[in-house]
Amino acid sequence: MTTKPRFAFALDYVKDVEVSKQFYVGVLALEPDRSHPTFAQFASFAVASDESLGGKGESELYWAVDDAELAFRESMVRAE
């Protein structure tokens, strides 16, 4: 098990999820893993039309670890 962060996925906020999804499916021939009227997820990225975490519609990058609690504890030790 590792606590080294690895890239999980990118999330881009768009005005119209359906138009964006049609581009990725129709032009790039990608298949969505999950789809909802406000969200479409592909292999390593997603588009959404709801509110971003920062409230400004900026793209977000997500990282993953095997054990979030252990990674947090290790980061606290390094910060001391």
Which CATH number do you get for residue 66?
3.10.180.10
Q: What is the dihedral of CA 16, 17, 18, 23, to 10 degrees?
A: 100
Q: ∠45-59-53 over CA atoms, to 5°?
A: 110
Is 19 a member of any domain? yes
- Tell me the pLDDT of the chain (80 aa) as tens digits: 678 899 999 999 999 999 999 999 999 999 999 999 999 999 989 999 988 777 888 899 999 999 999 988 888 887 77
Number of domain units in the chain = 1
| pLDDT value at residue 51 | 80
Is 40 a member of any domain? yes
Is 69 a member of any domain? yes
* Cβ proximity of 24 and 42 under 8 Å: yes
> How many CB atoms lie under 10 A from the CB of residue 36?
12
Rg (CA), the chain: 16
| pLDDT value at residue 25 | 96
Is 46 a member of any domain? yes
Give the Cα separation of 79 and 1 in Å (integer). 22
Is the torsion defined by CA of 5, 50, 30, 27 positive or negative?
negative
Is 1 a member of any domain? no
Q: Which domain holds residue 46?
A: 6-51+59-79
